[in-house]
Structures are given as C-alpha cells and as structure tokens.
Amino acid sequence: MSVYTCDIAVIGAGSGGIAAAVTAARHGLSVLLVEQADLIGGTAVRAGVHCWEMGAGGTGLPFDIYRRMNRLRGAVGIYSCGRHMSWYDPAREPYRFPGGERILDPGKRYVDTLQRHGAPGGQPTPEFVRRVWHGVPFEMEDYCSVLEEMLAETGRCEVVVGTGITDAMVQQGKIRSILLTNGSEVMATAYIDATADVCLCRVSGCVTLIGQDAQEAFGEPSAPERPNDNVNGVTLAYRVTRALASGVESLPTGIGHRCWWATHYPVASFNPYPRGDINVNMLPTMEGTEYLAMRSATAYQECRRRVLAHWHNLQSRYDEFRDFRMAWIAPSMGVRESYRTLCEHMLTEQDIRAGGGGRQYDDVIAIADHALDTHGRSTGRRLCSELEEPYGVPYRCLVPRGYRNLLVACRGAGFTSIAASSCRLSRTMMQLGQAAGTAAALARDHDVALPDVPPKELRRRLYRQYAQVDWPVSAELHAHLRDEGAP
C-alpha cells in the first residue's frame, strides 16, 4: 500500500477544493488534491454550471481565474439579462419567453458582476435586473486548462483523480490518516473536505445534517416546526449549438411528447457561451426528494430522458430553437443541497437577513449576497427572498465542531438548510476554499490547531490576496479589479 505524506490533503477538486489547494500551495505547503471524478472542476465542469452568477465577494482567486481566462480568445465573457417570462411585453414580443435569457454584453466588466442585492423593496424590477445583474459565462475546456495551469505553477500540489475516500483514522478530534479507494493511505498535518457530500467529514465521524432543520434547532423564523427530508431540486444542464439547417430533432423511442413528471414543462435559464452556444438549465429537472429516493445512476438516466423531452418541447413550440441542435448533456447532475456539517458556527437565516457584511462577527472570511431561494415544489418553502445588503460568513463555519485539523470548504460547511440556499454558489465556495488554504498556512506559521488560527491575521492575509472580507469594496480592491488581463 502506497502512502502519501503532505502538509495538507484536500479532498474534492470542485470550486472550494481548487481554491484551497492553490492557496495552500502558494503559501508553501505541500498539498495532495484528491478528486473522485475523472477530471477536476466539480459542478462548474461536470454538471454544466459553466457560469458564475452575479454576487458580492467574488474577488481574490475567482478574479485570478477570470483574468487568466480573459487572456484566451473567446474563453470568458460577461452577460446581461435579456427577455424573461415575467416581463413579457406583447407589444414587443411575439410570445412569452420560456424562462430567463442572458446575453453577452461586451460593455460590462468583471466588477459589474459583484452585486445581486439591493432591489427596491426586495422585488427585482426589469430595470434593476438589467442594470445590476451580470454574470460570468465561460468555456469549460478553457476553465479546466486554467485550473490545471494554476495548480501546476505552484510546484507543490499533487493531483490524484478517479479516487475517493473510504475511511479515516481519528483520535481525540484529529484525523491521523485517511484511506483512499485506490488502496493508498494519506497522512497529512491538516485536511480540507471540499466534496459535494462532505464525505471526509462523514467518514471521520462529524455530526452532519440533511434536509430542513426545525425551528427550534436554530431559531429561524422561516424553518418548519419539525425537521424533514426536503431539499432543493437538482438540475441536469445541457448545451445547444447552431444547426446547419432548421428543424425539430426527433425524440428517441420510449420518451413521451408530454411532460410526465409535472403538470407542465419547467422553465429554464438560458446562458450564452462565449463562443456562441447556449447553456440550458431546467429549473429544476428533478425534485430534491425524488432525487434522494433514487440511486444516483437511476436519477441521472431519468433526468437525461427529461432533458431530451424538454428540448423537443422547446423546438416544437418556439421557432427560434429550431435553428439549434443538442450538442452535449452534462455527465453529472447539478445538486444544490445535500449533507451539511455541524460546525463551530452555523450560518442562519438571521445572519443572512441581518446583512451588514457580517460586521457582527470578527472572523468573517467571505462576503455573499445571493437570495434565499427555492428550487422545486417539494421543498414546501416559498423563500426566494432578495437581500437588501451582503452578509459575511465567519471562519467558524468552516470548523467542524470538536475537530482540530479539519476544515470544510464546500456547500456542506456550517450552514443551516435555509442559509445553504443562499451560500452555495461557485465563487462563494472559492472564497471558502481560499480562506481554508490560508488558515492552514497560518496554523503552520503560528503552530496552532485550525480552530485557533487568529482571525485578524487570517482576514489580513486574505485582504492581501485581494479577497473581499468587508463590505463595501475598498478603493484599493476596486483599483485592483480594473486590471482584467485582457489580451
């Protein structure tokens, strides 16, 4: 049995894991990055989430990645919002658009993508959305190549793909070693769980949660009286490209023309690719409770059938889609919610609604402002609440309760179910990863356990990496964001 020894082992190479590995290695730590899939990038690659939604806090490492992609012709762009089914104007449009349309906008810059909050009365008007909401679509291959380049440049990060974890040896709140599915053992000083289902935390014995928390658990006003297994819906994204001739693609045998899983076909988000294709994101493809009740492979095959039916319906009903053909279906589901870890601080609905950039805490390491949202009917929730201002995520949300050398840098960190509906987007996960990698370096420098990392020094180091830890954006950070690295 081979043995890997390193300063820090990062399990999961999605947004949080990549950021943690790059950051830790840049601070001089030896890093092992382990990914169960056959390539790195996580949901942003395998699940077809080829876009960063608008939102506060996406500075630091996300901006580094954007600048590198921006040097590659046609790799990345900025979108603005176009048509939307809720804004249908029969005087200008021949029909109600089947969802929300985003269009490439060469007049916008990265700094324009760093806000979602602030809609008057919490209700985003068409004027507000078109003026304020801008996201970052990118080409998957270029994104992957940039991530690989950044990891390789450190000279201190070994990447192992196609490998998961099976067990962990834990003594008195410290992980001593972990076992991988390839039979290898990993012995590290510190560990970071950046997996979609907090696999490392679960095999290490951490307390984890799934489903909606009861009101009495965290005092959240929008929580149900009793806990339940309801989670946000999942998505299977797909890509369409320009066709040589107009037409409707035929459905495979056995797939019906009518929507068999709901009363009608779901609406979708239509995001542009920088090189001209369209990403289609059904909202959602499957209810979260339905997904959890199935085996993953079974759920994927059912969602694939739904994708084909959805696309056929779009082409059949709307002439504009007949000029496209199906080009790609994501190989993995986009799962918005699963297991969460009980951490030293649990981010709650109250924290998010309080806003203020997290000024009530002295260990804020990330800023976010995404809405408290709901995907699917089975959640039983009617949140979809836009925020008045950003909120802060404390470092203690990354520290599993009772553990000394383990951090969480993924959507399974210390969030309640309601808070997780906001604090789950790719760039926010990168902020958590950058904080976790920096904290691991500080723990080494100060010879302390991860929970004892000095928060002021952690925030200071993150600020020096141009990661936003306060709101609003400082003049120095705003000046840094002007250099987009264009060719």
Which candidate, 193, 55, 76, places its Cα nearest to that of 118?
A: 55
Cis peptide before 472 (omega within 30 of 0): yes
Average pLDDT over residues 74-101: 96
Percentage of the residues of the chain whose pLDDT score is greater than 70: 99
Domain ranges of the chain: 3-49+141-220+337-480, 234-335
pLDDT of residue 177: 98
Virtual torsion, Cα 197, 199, 203, 206, nearest 10 deg: -60
pLDDT of residue 183: 96
CA distances from 453 to 342, 347, 361, 421, 448 (A): 19, 19, 15, 28, 7
Identify the burial level of 179 via C-beta atoms within 10 angstroms of its C-beta, where 0-12 means exposed, 13-18 middle and 19 or more buried: middle
pLDDT band (50, 70, 90) for residue 481: very high
**Taking the CA of residue 183 as centre, how many other CA atoms within 13 Å lie in the half-sphere pointing to its CB?**
2
Which candidate, 126, 147, 121, places its Cα nearest to that of 22?
A: 147
d(CA 346, CA 348): 6
CA angle 270, 276, 279 (to 5 degrees): 25
d(CA 12, CA 124): 35
Q: Which residues contact 188 (CB under 8 A, 6 or more apart)?
A: 4, 5, 6, 7, 8, 9, 32, 175
Across-strand partners of 347? Answer: 415
Average pLDDT over residues 343-358: 94
Beta pairing class for 157-160 and 79-84: unpaired
pLDDT of residue 64: 97
d(CA 64, CA 150): 9
Q: What is the pLDDT of residues 376-427, one digit of tens each?
A: 888 877 767 899 999 999 999 999 999 999 999 999 999 999 999 999 999 9
d(CA 249, CA 239): 14
pLDDT of residue 486: 66
Beta pairing class for 99-104 and 79-84: antiparallel
- φ, ψ for residue 411, nearest 5 deg: -70, -10
Virtual torsion, Cα 94, 134, 282, 195, nearest 10 deg: 180
10 pLDDT higher than 80:
yes
Which candidate, 126, 143, 160, places its Cα nearest to that of 33?
A: 160
pLDDT band (50, 70, 90) for residue 54: very high
Who wins on pLDDT, 483 or 438? 438
Contact 192, 202 (CB under 8 A): no
The tokens for 215 are 């009101």
Mean pLDDT of the residues in the chain: 96
pLDDT band (50, 70, 90) for residue 487: low
Average pLDDT over residues 249-268: 95
Contact 340, 413 (CB under 8 A): yes
Average pLDDT over residues 179-195: 98
Virtual torsion, Cα 226, 296, 234, 412, nearest 10 deg: 60
pLDDT of residue 269: 98
Contact 358, 367 (CB under 8 A): yes
Q: What is the pLDDT of residues 331-348, one digit of tens each?
A: 999 999 999 999 999 999
Which candidate, 460, 442, 459, places its Cα nearest to that of 451?
A: 442
CATH number assigned to the domain with residue range 3-49+141-220+337-480, chosen from the 4 options 3.30.1490.20, 3.40.50.150, 3.50.50.60, 3.40.470.10: 3.50.50.60
Buried b (16+ CB within 10 A) or exposed e, 21-30: bbbbbbbebb
